[in-house]
Structures are given as C-alpha cells and as structure tokens.
Homo-oligomer: A and B are copies of this chain.
Amino acid sequence: MAKLNWGMIGGGAGSQIGPAHRLGAQADGNFVLAAGALDLDAEKGRSYAQSLGVAEDRAYGHWREMLEGERTRPDRVDLVTVATPNSTHFEITKAFLEAGFNVLCEKPMTMRVDEGEEIVRLARSSGRICAVNYCYSAYPMVREMRHMVKTGEIGKVRLVVANFSHGHHGDAGDADNSRVRWRYDPAMAGVSGQFADCGIHALHMATFVCGDEVEILSADFASTIPMRDLEDDAMVNFRMRDGTVGRLWTSSVAIGRQHGFDIQVFGETGGLRWASEQPNQVFYTPLGQRTQIMEKGAADLSDEAGRLSRVAIAHPEGFPLAVANIYVDLASAIKGTRRDALPTAEDGLRSMAAVYAAVESAAQKGAWVDARPPMFR
C-alpha cells in the first residue's frame, strides 16, 4: 500500500481550494504531496510547497518548470491536480496529459468547446486518466441514488429537477468586491456567469445520477443586478437522450439559500431527493408507499455507497470527504482497479457544450438548441 505521488498546480497560500484538495488527497493516506507549483509568484510558491513537506527540488516556481522537472523522474508524480484560475485549465491539463501524466482538473475543464474536445481526444489517445472535479458526485448518497436508478429501483426516469441556487452574490453593493465582480464580467468569466459557475455542477449531477446525457436545452437567463453583464440567475429546461425531462434552476441572488444545491429524480415507480446541505440522507418514496429516510452508513446500502463512507451511520460526513472520495477513486483508477464513477474529460466537455448551448438559447429567447458537443452528435 505504498502511497502515490501527488503534484499540485495552484492552490497556494490563501487559496480556499488548495486546502480542500490537500485534505482530500491525504485524508485516506492514498497520496503524498511530492511536487507542486502552487503560486503565480514563483518564490512564494516554492517556499509554500516546502512548508507543506515538498522536497526543495520538487517545489517548483511555475507549472512548466514542474512539467519539465517531473517528466523525466523515475518517481514522477502519479497524479497532477490543476487548481489554477479557470482560463489556464486547458493549457495546463493539455500539457500534462501530453506528457503522460494523470490529471484531475478543477471545473470548468476548459473555457471553450473545441478546447474540451481536444482534451477528450488527448485523454483517449494517451490512455491517461483525465478527471474533472465534480466532487458532489462522490458523496456516498449520491452514488447510492445513481445505483438505485441504474438497478431500476425507481423505474425509467421521467423527470429530474436540479437546483444550485444560493444568495451569496445578492448584494448590489458588492460591485467593488473583487471576489464577486469577476464572475459577471465576460472578460474574466467567459460567456456565462452563474450557470457556468454553479449550474454545471447541477447539470453534471443530473446526468450522473440518471446515467444519461443532455441532448437539447432551452434557457432563460437574467441579470437581476443591473451592472452585471452575465447572468446571475438562470432556468434551463432540457431533455435527455432517453426522453427524461429536466429542470435546472441556478441563482446567486437567492438570498437566504446558503449552498442551495439539491436534486430530485422522479421515475415510474419512485422518487428520490437529496440536498447538499444534508448530504447524508436520501429521501426515497416508492410509488404508492411512504417516504423512507435512507442514511449514509446504513447496512442496507449498496457497496458503492458503503465503500465511500468512513464513519458509522448518522455520523455526518461532509464536503471535504466528498472531495476525498474523488481521490479514493483516483487512487483506484491509477492502480487500475476501477474508474467507472469518476467524472471524466467527457463530462467536462459536455458541461462546456451545455454552457454554450444555454448562452445561445438565452440569446434566442429560449429557443431549444442542441446541447451536445459536436464530436458526440
């Protein structure tokens, strides 16, 4: 059970996502942080990496330096996590895949659809793992829902309703708050604001749980705070390949909603409900019967949910350990055991295609448009 070597790009001092990845990678003892290019400021990055236990010669000043340093080492890192600003994901992911590394990329995987297709092709040709951090999909009870859908517990899925609506950007006075403003500025955020930021988590969740893909969609975007160029609220209706109806609401001005990420799945013989603020329960209603409260860690769950639960029933596990579960599955995938539930480059590509489709639909007053990446049509 030797630990795997892990490298990280981005996530330096003061970053919020850095600690989440480090906790996730190290929580179960699968990975050891062996290399890193953690900061745009080379010196700060090097010294921070060393403070985290990285050897001096693997504490890099830039991701290109890391690429060069690692590619030739016999003990080169088994996995690179890309947690840099969104606009750099494509370039870095591409470079490391080309060099034969396994990559976990933060979402969004790319800023454009053609870039996404390029990554998918590269991941396929390289045979390397390219995962995207749709970490919510790794909650044990999300896996349980997916398992239930797959095994037909609720029959053919008719309808899926996913929301990711919070209120943390609801203050018009935040115009000068740099943590908020860039998200609604096309120069920095790209073609979409809230939908690209949170909506695609919900969209991925819908496809993940249903085991299906979005074919067409219709979007209504709104910028409820005047100065914003990109949407802070969006409703997206969609249809999946097998006919499932989809409804997705995402907002950042829903004051009072904190995380506000939930999903409901309705099939021919039952319904499921899960909410990220209480991630250890699923409410399951078999047709014509009472609603049952399913609990993480219970003996009657699937192996898939069981293996991703660390502590006993009703001992809550939260977001950081969902991230850790992504690393659990990465460790397995690297070792060749399994990778079936990991969010992949295909997922990252589909998200980006959906973002562009939604933007186009919204611009065309809700016209239904093809949401599939060209290469999957």
Contact between A316 and B20 (Cβ–Cβ < 8 Å)? no
- What residues of chain B lie closer than 8 Å to A247, measured between beta carbons? 235, 249
A residues 222-249 in Cβ contact with B at 8 Å:
222, 224-225, 233, 235, 237, 245, 247, 249
Complex CA distance for A97 and B22, rounded to whole angstroms: 32
Q: How far is the CA of A99 from the CA of B319 in the complex (A)?
A: 40
Pairwise interchain contact A291-B292, C-beta atoms closer than 8 A: yes
Cα of A63 to Cα of B265 in the assembled complex, Å: 46
Which chain B residue has the least Cβ–Cβ distance from A238?
A: B220
- Name the contact of A53 in the complex, choosing from B29, B251, B288 (C-beta under 8 A): B29
Interface-forming stretch among A34-42, A166-174, A195-203, A350-358? A166-174
A225 vs B260: C-alpha distance when bound (angstroms)? 29
Identify which of residues 275-303 in chain A touch chain B, using a CB-to-CB cut-off of 8 Å: 276-280, 283-285, 287-288, 290-295, 298, 300
Residue contact B233 to A253, C-beta cutoff 8 Å: no
Chain-B contact segment, one of A71-79, A110-118, A266-274, A339-347 = A266-274
- Asked if A218 is at the interface (CB within 8 A of a chain B CB), the reply is yes
Q: Which of A86-94, A180-188, A330-338, A360-368 contacts B (4 or more CB under 8 A)?
A: A360-368
A51 and B224 alpha carbons, distance in the complex (Å):
53
Contact A311 B20 (CB under 8 A): yes
Whether the Cβ atoms of B298 and A20 lie closer than 8 Å is: no
Residue A321 interfacial (CB < 8 Å): yes
What copy number does this chain have within its complex?
4
Partner of A278, one of B218, B316, B320: B316
User: Count the A residues whose beta carbon is within 8 Å of the partner chain — how many?
Assistant: 88
Contact partner of A159 among B168, B171, B254, B313, CB < 8 A?
Answer: B254
Measured CB to CB, the nearest residue on chain B to A288 is: B171
Is A175 at the interface (CB under 8 A from chain B)? no
Q: Contact at B316–A277, with CB atoms within 8 Å?
A: yes
Nearest CB of B to A164, in Å = 12
Supposing A158-B253, A287-B171 touch, asked if A317 and B319 sit within 8 A by C-beta, the answer is yes
Task: List, in ascending order, chain B residues with CB within 8 A of A249's CB.
Answer: 161, 247, 249
Distance, CA A26 to CA B154, complexed state (A) = 40
**A170 vs B278: C-alpha distance in the bound complex, in angstroms?**
26
Residue interface bits A1-28, CB-to-B below 8 A is 1, else 0: 1110000000000001001101100111
- In the complex, whether A64 has a CB less than 8 A from a CB of chain B is no
**CB-defined contacts of A295 to chain B, threshold 8 Å:** 258, 290
Q: List 29 A-B contacts (CB under 8 A).
A: A1-B52, A19-B28, A23-B27, A23-B28, A27-B320, A161-B249, A161-B254, A171-B287, A172-B268, A224-B245, A235-B235, A235-B237, A235-B247, A254-B264, A254-B266, A255-B285, A256-B270, A257-B271, A258-B295, A278-B316, A280-B318, A284-B290, A290-B300, A292-B293, A311-B318, A318-B321, A365-B367, A366-B366, A366-B367
